[in-house]
Structures are given as C-alpha cells and as structure tokens.
C-alpha cells in the first residue's frame, strides 16, 4: 500500500510542477484558469489522502518525509493564501483575482521539484 501511495505522490508531484508552471505563466494571477483550478483541487484532495495515509500506513525510516513534506507545504500554502485574501476585500467578493507574488511562485516550483525527486528516490530505494 505504501508503494501505491508513493507512486501516486510522484504523480501528484508532477501535477504540482504543472500547477507552479501555470502560475508562473500567468505571472502569479490565479484568476479563472480552469486547469489551474483543477490542479489546485487535486492537490487539496491529495492533502486529505495524505493525512489519512499518515495514520493508516506504517512509513518506515525516512519515507515519512514524503507525506510530512506534502502536509507542511499545504499548511504553509493555506496560511499564506488566507493572508493574501484577507488583505483585499475585492478578492473575497470575487471582484479581483488572487495575485501570488513571484517569489512564492518560485518557492512552489522549487518545492514541487524537490518533492517529486524525493518521491522518485523513495520508490527506487
């Protein structure tokens, strides 16, 4: 079951890379890009799966790094997302798109590459 989780996490890693690249191409504007919305929803669902996996699966040694990194990244993203939306009432009302600073887009892209590589290594070892 852990192999299935790690394989699926690898796929999610590629989805996170695609998400970060789409956000980069949109210059940080989340807006109404349907593909970006889809990837974000997939990532959210995977966060729930990951929390369940943490309690149900017996991760040995350093393999716990895969779900831990994913959850930490999501928590950081949620906190920062709430912060960004709280600064602008137009975002909350749906009148303005969420604009992610480029430094955070670069952070997400870096994280996604590292996460994907860790998933690959976890599957090989």
Euclidean distance between CA atoms 40 and 48, whole angstroms: 13
The structure's pTM equals 0.86
What per-residue confidence (pLDDT) applies to 114?
95
- Where in the sequence is the domain holding 49, given as residue range(s)? 2-124
pLDDT, average across residues 30-58: 88
Q: Write the CA distances from 102 to 1, 71, 106, integer angstroms.
A: 37, 22, 6
Is the per-residue pLDDT at 92 higher than 70? no
The domain tally of the chain equals: 1
């Amino acid at each position: 079951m852990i192999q299935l989780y790690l394989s699926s996490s690898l796929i999610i890693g590629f989805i996170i890379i695609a998400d970060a690249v789409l956000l980069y191409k949109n210059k940080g504007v989340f807006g109404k890009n349907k593909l970006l919305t889809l990837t974000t929803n997939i990532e959210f669902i995977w966060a729930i799966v990951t929390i369940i996996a943490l309690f149900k699966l017996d991760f040995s040694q350093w393999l716990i790094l895969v779900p831990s990194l994913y959850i930490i990244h999501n928590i950081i993203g949620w906190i920062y997302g709430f912060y960004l939306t709280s600064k602008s009432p137009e975002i909350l009302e749906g009148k303005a798109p969420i604009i992610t600073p480029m430094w955070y887009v670069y952070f997400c892209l870096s994280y996604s590459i590292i996460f994907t590589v860790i998933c690959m290594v976890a599957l090989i070892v």
